[in-house]
Amino acid sequence: MKSPSYFLFSAILAIYAADSIAKQTTVAPQHDSHSKHSEPSPVCAKPSSQCSNTVAAEFSHDGVLWITWAANDHVYVQSSTDKGQNFSAPVMVNATAEKVTAKGENRPKIKLDANGNIYISWALSLGEHHAGYIRFSRSTDGGKSFSAPVTVNDNLEVIGHSFDSMAIGQNGGKSFYPNKRIAAHVCQCCRLQTAIAKDNTPVITWRHIFDGGIRDHALVKFTDWNTPSDMQRVGQENWKIDACPHHGPGLAISDTDVYHEVWFSNADTKKGLFYAYSSDAGKHFSEPMNFGGAGASHPHVQTLGQQVAIVWEEFDGKNNTLQLIKSSDAGKTWTKPEVIAQTTKGVDTPFLVSDGHAIY
């Protein structure tokens, strides 16, 4: 089955010899009009990723590319053995239709483990404003079938549970511990990012609402899978805003345990995209590096050894461009920005994945 062109990997982005890759889809408009996101998806009679506003991707340990997307109240997965040139037929995750949230930074997520098990999570819309549940399903037969979805959140009130992020725990999703609050006053419509540290514990970063309505970023590293450490602040832009920015951070942790984080701010004196790294498990970060142009938004970061790549989108009022910078020394120095794709059509937010040999 041929992959739709708008999220076909158009070329390989090997960090050492940067060709470009990107997928482009449409999502809901952002509050600040940093990019064009307003084109509706086509209506399809049969399941097709062309009818989805968003997609998420992950490589398996054997190099197979897996994607998940939602259309017509169902979540689907597909796989590709040729880096996105062709995809398998869609496999439905939830047999019973439900209102799957799939727009902007709130979309179905996918993770895979070393045994070939596939894990899918998404937000179920309850119809009330911002109200939802976190749903989860897994496949233990290589994506041929999926378990009946379960609700992860303990609190079943009609309130906001959304913007989920996954890490694979010890029992592979067979059961979940009781929910534990890590932090209050979290920006309720910005994505979270979860990564795994070298000691195999989760690290979570998010946009936090600090005292005075400041919406900057925070990070928590777990000391074990049940115990979060103290919250650390990432960046000091002091962006005061009484609205949701719709911009969550990106986080990647290298095999040498260096944390690489990217984010957006629109503070009075510190605007645009920022990057910083930490060599002490998030306790301290380097001086943030400002990058990107006037219409830059939604950065994402990925690592491979000493290599680090950052992509983001920029909108100039007419064109959406996908831009890239690279570092070969763990984030200390960077290449100049290069445009690797552009369109006048609506686009999805960019992200990077790695198969252990290259970054895509």
pLDDT of residue 115: 93
Strand duo 193-196 + 271-278: pairing: unpaired
Residue 293 has pLDDT above 70, yes or no: yes
Question: What domains appear along the chain, each with residue ranges and CATH number?
Answer: 41-179 (2.120.10.10)
Which residue type occupies 214? I
Q: What share of the chain is helix, strand, coil (3-state, %, to 5)?
A: 0, 40, 60
Tell me which residue of 100, 102, 101, 104 sits closest to 38, measured CA to CA. 104
Q: Is the dihedral of CA 237, 238, 244, 250 positive or negative?
A: positive
pLDDT of residue 36: 55
Tell me which residue of 54, 65, 69 sits closest to 23, measured CA to CA. 54
pLDDT-derived band at 330 (thresholds 50, 70, 90) equals very high
pLDDT of residue 308: 98
Percent of the chain with pLDDT over 90: 78
pLDDT of residue 129: 80
pLDDT of residue 8: 30
Between 69-83, 124-138, 272-286, the lowest mean confidence (pLDDT) is in: 124-138
Residue pair 331/308 in contact by the 8 Å Cβ criterion: yes
Residues 72-98 as b/e (b if ≥16 CB within 10 A, e otherwise) read eebbbbbbbeebbeebeebbebbeeee
DSSP string for residues in 138-160: EESSTTS--PPPEE--S--SSS-
Please name every residue paired with 312 in a beta bridge, in sequence order, or none if there are none: 323
pLDDT-derived band at 172 (thresholds 50, 70, 90) equals confident
191-238 per-position pLDDT tens digit = 999 999 999 999 999 999 999 999 999 999 999 999 999 999 999 999
